[in-house]
């Protein structure tokens, strides 16, 4: 066990639930921010918040902050109210966390701020290869990510090292996108989305957890960091690989117009193409446990 205190929001989420025990193995104390409190466990101290303002006490004595909380993007129909929640739960909370850091004595500020972002930053980019230097894209989620990262960067002027993880679709046994993707296959209705040529940026949850720990501990890493696996796949390859792993047919394509009708402004997240490469993680020497899609799906679907 190491020294130090880590504050984490979104601790009850898909990624947070895997990350918290790993943090507790490495740090003296992990303070978890949740809207519903939580249970005290060995080296884990729950703290309540309203989803926006962590309060002054939560930041006390903290060495690193990991901010993962946010209204789920695919958690229901994209009504105006939900789109506003997707945006505000990320941007307003990040701004407030940075304000709370600014209010601390400089010597008492956290050294590191790791804030989630998403590959949605890049919009829909066809065949372009996207590393961290690539320009942002257009669309609702691209704008949310751009503002989210801008708020996080506000901590840099306070002497805090900031890493914005541009996270790809997280593949995990316990839920998230993979649970949704498995439903049509289990009904024998699996198939590519649209024309299937769009690149699908993904990462196995264990690699995302390891990349987050790497970001906290690797002082050379800062700014935007693509958190995706090194193997870029197209939707068609994703569909065929998932069908093979699940031993199910992949015959019925889901037409783009039907997806747009069902998902509205977030359809671009599934239909858009993003060939994202983890340039900074690779350059920094990060080792992926699940670098190939087939291996990642075999673990997550076992």
Ligand X SMILES: NC(=O)c1ccc[n+]([C@@H]2O[C@H](COP(=O)([O-])OP(=O)(O)OC[C@H]3O[C@@H](n4cnc5c(N)ncnc54)[C@H](OP(=O)(O)O)[C@@H]3O)[C@@H](O)[C@H]2O)c1
Q: By CB under 6 A, name the one of 36, 39, 133, 302 that touches ligand X.
A: 36
CB of 68 to ligand X, least distance (A): 4
Distance CA 65, CA 164 (A): 12
Counting beta carbons within 10 angstroms of the beta carbon of residue 43, is it exposed (0 to 12), middle (13 to 18) or buried (19 or more)?
A: middle
Contact letters (x/-) for ligand X, 69-108, by CB under 6 A?
xxxxx-----------x---x-------------------
CB of 240 to ligand X, least distance (A): 21
Q: By CB under 6 A, name the one of 4, 10, 78, 190 that touches ligand X.
A: 10
Q: Which residues are CB-contacts of 266 (< 8 A; sequence separation ≥ 6)?
A: 73, 74, 78, 140, 141
- Residue nearest to ligand X as judged by C-beta position: 13
- Determine, following the binding rule CB under 6 A, whether residue 167 of this chain makes contact with ligand X: yes
Nearer to ligand X, 174 or 257 (CB): 174
Q: By CB under 6 A, name the one of 5, 83, 169, 229 that touches ligand X.
A: 169
Q: Across-strand partners of 34?
A: 48
Q: By CB under 6 A, name the one of 6, 7, 15, 221 that touches ligand X.
A: 15
Alpha carbon distances (Å) from 239 to 117, 186, 192? 25, 13, 6
Here the tokens at position 293 are 């899609």
- Segment contacting ligand X by CB under 6 A, of 67-75, 122-130, 152-160, 190-198: 67-75
Distance CA 16, CA 174 (A): 12
Here the tokens at position 24 are 């507790």
Closest CA to 144 of 126, 129, 122, 170: 122
Q: By CB under 6 A, name the one of 51, 78, 123, 194 that touches ligand X.
A: 51
Size of the site for ligand X (CB under 6 A): 25
Q: By CB under 6 A, name the one of 2, 21, 35, 129 that touches ligand X.
A: 35
Number of H helices, E strands in the chain: 10, 13
Q: CA angle 218-153-95, nearest 5°? A: 120
- Give the footprint of ligand X on residues 172-211 (CB under 6 A): 176-177
Residues that bind ligand X (CB under 6 A): 10, 12-16, 34-36, 51, 68-73, 85, 89, 116, 118, 167, 169-170, 176-177
């Amino acid at each position: 066990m190491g020294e130090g205190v880590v504050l984490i929001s979104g601790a009850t989420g898909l990624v947070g639930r895997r990350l918290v025990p790993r943090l507790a193995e490495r740090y003296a104390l992990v303070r978890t921010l949740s809207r519903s409190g939580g249970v005290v466990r060995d080296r884990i101290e729950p703290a309540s918040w309203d989803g926006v303002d962590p309060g002054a006490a939560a930041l006390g004595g903290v060495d690193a902050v990991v901010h993962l909380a946010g209204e789920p993007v695919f958690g229901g129909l994209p009504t105006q109210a939900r789109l506003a929640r997707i945006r505000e739960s990320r941007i307003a909370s990040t701004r407030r966390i940075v304000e709370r850091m600014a209010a601390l004595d400089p010597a008492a500020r956290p050294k590191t701020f790791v804030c989630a972002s998403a590959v949605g930053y890049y919009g829909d980019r066809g065949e372009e290869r996207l590393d961290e230097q690539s320009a942002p894209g257009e669309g609702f989620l691209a704008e949310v990510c751009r503002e989210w990262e801008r708020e996080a960067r506000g901590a840099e002027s306070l002497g805090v090292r900031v890493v914005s993880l541009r996270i790809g679709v997280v593949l995990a046994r316990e839920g998230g996108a993979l649970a949704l993707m498995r439903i049509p296959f289990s009904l024998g209705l699996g198939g590519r989305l649209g024309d299937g040529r769009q690149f699908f940026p993904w990462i196995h949850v264990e690699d995302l957890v390891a990349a987050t720990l790497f970001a906290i501990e690797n002082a050379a890493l800062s700014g935007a960091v693509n958190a995706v696996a090194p193997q870029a796949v197209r939707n068609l390859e994703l569909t065929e690989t998932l069908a093979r792993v699940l031993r199910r047919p992949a015959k019925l394509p889901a037409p783009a117009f039907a997806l747009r009708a069902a998902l509205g402004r977030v359809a671009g997240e599934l239909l858009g193409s993003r060939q994202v490469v983890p340039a900074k993680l690779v350059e920094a020497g990060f080792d992926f446990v699940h670098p190939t899609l087939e291996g990642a799906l075999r673990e997550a679907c076992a």
